[in-house]
């Protein structure tokens, strides 16, 4: 059946004829003409309507452009409906679902691999000057800048359409700027800037994909898939929580279709200076482990080395944790150091909606990405090299994740607070609960000094004892995997708590994190790293504030001195309590002997 009408203007005669042919096709395969899935861009085949309503929706909203295979209307055979859904939101009827929610996205890019000229035609259209003689903006660059402003200043869809219409009137008549938000989205989606919305359980138990695709209630917590309205009524068709997934494989393929970017993707092998200095991750031992362990992977310099970063943000610009949205960003290390961390090459792959942060259940949301990473490692994908004008099998490896310390714990499954908060020391962490400061104190740093270091034998300056114990050795990936294999972890939040069961009592591990599904991860020396920004701000700011005695920034206060008294350490620094003011004796790091308040 001809489907070219789907991309036509909704006011054109071709679109009207196409709508009528689609409705006739749907009527022939419908069991009830009053209950047909509406394929408009708003309903998305989630709501059942009559023919007249669907015709109105298709004219007003337009058809969902990703709906290439009309599986909801009888174009392909249904999935085996042997499952019983009688307990699903009071529904007894059986419905047809796509076997893989990513089929439609991946199919669009498969056509590019078969016909590389198709993508180049789209690229040529995007790189047209905004109007004849324009040298500053192309059609795509102007559209992207405007769309970024829309997101930055929270413009509504209607205001953005009016703005595009106004700009179109200001520019010359033969300009290339889209006249509406609908046309702008068509231009972006045609270049592969697409996403997949996956419904999620509100308690972070499951994603409604694969074996759960047809469920209307979570099989773990029994919560409804749909959003609850007033009086606890179910708004059928409106998901309670959504994961936005931006498949990285098509974007990796698209990088190699640009000749300039394609050259930079082999910079680490062709132009990098190898003189023993650490300038790039390619100079690090973690990169060399991959080269040594898997020489067939290292033999192809176009294979990608990746990092993943995740953290919570507040999209409403408030210094509050009432709403937490988690983006997951992919970084490509094949590029030179002045490009790999630029915004243009940092790929958003997941957007986990709020309002509650996923916490330890973030593995549930990472599952689609892990599936793509396994595919990129095990079999690879076909990509077209624009520089060498040839197709090749593209593979990729995830080197590590980059996070702050709380997110480190969520991704690695390691405890990051309490008595065993050190990921290196584990159960050998030297920790003390401070009574007056009401926080944990982690000591034992002298264990990491050389055995002959003079600080190891000093007593008075530290805790009154010599430190002769050796430094603990970090666990290898195989040792960590052996420990977490014995943990039986069940994702999901019930009454605000994570349900977790341990086969053995392992105090410093919470779960087996999903990255261990990547078979190469246990061989890597480094799996998770802390970002520099938090270390600079939090640690260095506290050190400088304490050394310079900056009011409000120093950690040397009355509570800290009282804790020293409680531990019977440095009694000469005990605070002198007065009726109106408290005085603290000068510390050994100060330049003045005067007492401070």
Q: Which residues pair with 441 in a beta bridge?
A: 432
Other Cβ atoms closer than 10 A to 39 = 24
Distances (CA, A) of 152 to 148, 158, 472, 587: 6, 16, 47, 48
Reading the block at residue 137, the tokens are: 């903006």
C-alpha 296: how far from chain center: 29
Query: Does the pLDDT value for residue 113 go beyond 50?
Result: no
Strand, helix or coil at 368?
Answer: helix
C-alpha 333: how far from chain center: 17
* Of 581 and 279, more confident: 279
Which range (74-83, 125-134, 201-210, 381-390) has the least confidence?
Answer: 74-83
Reported confidence tier of residue 591, pLDDT bands at 50, 70, 90: low
Reported confidence tier of residue 90, pLDDT bands at 50, 70, 90: very low
Question: Tell me, what's the pLDDT at 92?
Answer: 31
CA distance 516 to 411: 11
CA distance 9 to 5: 8
Q: In sequence order, what are the residues at sequence separation of 6 or more whose Cβ sits closer than 8 angstroms to the Cβ of residue 61?
A: 40, 41, 42, 43
Distances (CA, A) of 31 to 27, 161, 326, 343, 457: 8, 39, 42, 50, 86
DSSP 330-379: EEETTS-HHHHTSGGGEEEEEEE--SS--GGGHHHHHHHHHHHHHHHHHT
CA distance 298 to 305: 10
Average pLDDT of the chain to the nearest whole number: 81
pLDDT tens digit sequence for 465-505: 898 889 988 889 898 898 888 888 888 887 444 444 444 45
Residue in this structure with the two tokens 């109105």, named with its chain if needed: 56
Angle, CA 20 vertex, CA 14 and CA 25 arms, to 5° = 125
Q: What's the average model confidence in pLDDT over 102-120? A: 48
Reading the block at residue 215, the tokens are: 């469920």
Strand, helix or coil at 331?
Answer: strand
CB 518 within 8 Å of CB 512: no
Question: Tell me, what's the pLDDT at 120?
Answer: 65
Question: Tell me, what's the pLDDT at 502?
Answer: 44
pLDDT tens digit sequence for 35-56: 888 888 777 777 788 888 888 8
pLDDT tens digit sequence for 405-418: 889 989 988 888 88
CA distance 299 to 315: 43
Reading the block at residue 97, the tokens are: 């679902």
Question: Tell me, what's the pLDDT at 24?
Answer: 87
Residue in this structure with the two tokens 């096709």, named with its chain if needed: 25
CB 215 within 8 Å of CB 373: no
* Of 45 and 351, more confident: 351
CA distance 242 to 196: 10
CA distance 44 to 583: 69
Which range (102-106, 358-362, 442-446, 449-453) has the least confidence?
Answer: 102-106
Q: What's the average model confidence in pLDDT over 5-24? A: 84
Q: In sequence order, what are the residues at sequence separation of 6 or more whose Cβ sits closer than 8 angstroms to the Cβ of residue 371?
A: none
pLDDT tens digit sequence for 353-363: 888 889 889 99
* Of 395 and 152, more confident: 395
Angle, CA 499 vertex, CA 493 and CA 505 arms, to 5° = 150
Q: What's the average model confidence in pLDDT over 159-188? A: 85
DSSP 440-465: EEE--GGGGS-TT-GGGG--TTTTSS
Question: Tell me, what's the pLDDT at 131?
Answer: 86
Q: Is the four-CA dihedral 69, 73, 77, 81 of positive or negative sign?
A: positive
3-state per-residue secondary structure call for 47-97: CEECHHHHHHHHHHCCECCCCCCCHHHCCCCCCCCCCCCCCECCECCCCCC
Question: Tell me, what's the pLDDT at 587?
Answer: 80
Query: Does the pLDDT value for residue 83 go beyond 60?
Result: no
Q: Which residues pair with 224 in a beta bridge?
A: 217
pLDDT tens digit sequence for 552-575: 888 888 888 888 888 888 888 888
Question: Tell me, what's the pLDDT at 265?
Answer: 92
Query: Does the pLDDT value for residue 2 go beyond 60?
Result: yes
CA distance 439 to 434: 6
Hey, where are the domains in the chain? Answer: 1-80, 105-190, 246-410, 422-512, 533-583
Residue in this structure with the two tokens 């950690």, named with its chain if needed: 555
CA distance 350 to 364: 12
Q: What is the DSSP letter of 207?
A: B
* Of 331 and 180, more confident: 331
Reported confidence tier of residue 97, pLDDT bands at 50, 70, 90: very low
Q: Is the four-CA dihedral 562, 566, 570, 571 of positive or negative sign?
A: positive
Reading the block at residue 453, the tokens are: 């270091």
Alpha helices in 191-247 (DSSP H): none
Reported confidence tier of residue 310, pLDDT bands at 50, 70, 90: very high
Question: Tell me, what's the pLDDT at 453?
Answer: 92
Query: Does the pLDDT value for residue 187 go beyond 90?
Result: no
Reported confidence tier of residue 108, pLDDT bands at 50, 70, 90: very low
């Amino acid at each position: 059946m001809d489907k070219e009408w789907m991309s036509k203007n909704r006011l054109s005669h071709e679109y009207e004829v196409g709508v009528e042919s689609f409705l006739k096709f749907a009527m022939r395969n419908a069991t009830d003409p009053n209950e047909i899935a509406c394929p408009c861009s708003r309903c998305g085949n989630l709501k059942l309507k009559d023919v007249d309503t669907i015709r109105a929706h298709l004219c007003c909203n337009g058809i969902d452009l990703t709906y290439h295979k009309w599986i909801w209307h009888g174009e392909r055979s249904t999935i085996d409906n042997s499952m019983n859904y009688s307990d699903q939101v009071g529904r007894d009827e059986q419905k047809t679902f796509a076997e893989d929610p990513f089929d439609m996205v991946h199919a669009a890019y498969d056509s590019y691999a078969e016909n590389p000229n198709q993508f180049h035609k789209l690229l040529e259209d995007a790189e047209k000057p905004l109007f004849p003689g324009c040298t500053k903006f192309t059609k795509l660059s102007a559209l992207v800048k405007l769309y970024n402003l829309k997101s930055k200043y929270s413009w509504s869809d209607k205001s953005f359409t009016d703005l595009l219409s106004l700009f179109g009137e200001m520019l010359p008549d033969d300009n290339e700027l889209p006249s509406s938000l609908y046309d702008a989205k068509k231009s972006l989606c045609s270049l592969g800037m697409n996403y997949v919305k996956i419904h999620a359980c509100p308690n972070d138990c499951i994603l409604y994909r694969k074996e759960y695709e047809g469920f209307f209630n979570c099989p773990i917590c029994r919560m409804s898939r749909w959003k609850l309205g007033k009086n606890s009524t179910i708004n059928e068709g409106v998901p309670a929580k959504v994961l936005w997934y931006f498949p990285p494989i098509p974007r990796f393929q698209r990088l190699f279709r640009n000749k300039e970017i394609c050259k930079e993707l082999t910079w680490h092998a062709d132009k990098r200076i190898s003189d023993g200095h650490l300038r790039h991750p390619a100079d690090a031992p973690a990169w060399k482990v991959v080269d040594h362990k898997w020489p067939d992977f290292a033999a192809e310099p176009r294979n990608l080395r990746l990092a993943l970063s995740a953290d919570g943000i507040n999209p409403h610009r408030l210094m509050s944790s009432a709403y937490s949205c988690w983006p997951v960003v992919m970084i490509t290390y094949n590029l030179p150091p002045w490009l790999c961390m630029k915004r243009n090459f940092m790929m958003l792959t997941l957007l986990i909606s709020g309002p509650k942060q996923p916490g330890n259940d973030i593995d549930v949301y990472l599952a689609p990405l892990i599936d793509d990473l396994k595919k990129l490692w095990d079999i690879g994908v076909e990509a077209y090299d624009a520089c060498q004008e040839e197709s090749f099998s593209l593979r990729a490896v995830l080197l590590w994740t980059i996070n702050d310390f709380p997110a480190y714990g969520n991704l690695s499954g390691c405890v990051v607070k309490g008595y065993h908060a050190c990921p290196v020391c584990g159960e050998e962490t030297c920790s003390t609960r401070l009574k007056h400061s009401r926080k944990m104190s982690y000591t034992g740093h002298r264990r990491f000094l050389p055995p002959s270091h003079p600080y190891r034998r000093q007593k008075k300056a530290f805790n009154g004892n010599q430190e002769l114990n050796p430094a603990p050795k970090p666990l290898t990936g195989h040792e960590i995997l052996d420990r977490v294999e014995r943990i039986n972890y069940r994702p999901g939040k019930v009454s605000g708590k994570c349900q977790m069961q341990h086969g053995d009592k392992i105090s410093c591990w919470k779960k087996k994190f999903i990255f261990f599904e990547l078979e190469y991860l246990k061989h890597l020396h480094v799996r998770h790293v802390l970002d520099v920004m938090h270390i600079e701000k939090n640690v260095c700011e506290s050190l400088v504030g304490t050394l310079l005695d900056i009011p409000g920034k120093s950690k040397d206060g009355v509570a800290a001195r009282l804790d020293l008294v409680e531990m019977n350490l440095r009694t000469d620094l005990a605070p002198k309590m007065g009726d109106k003011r408290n005085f603290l004796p000068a510390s050994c790091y100060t330049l003045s002997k005067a007492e401070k308040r």
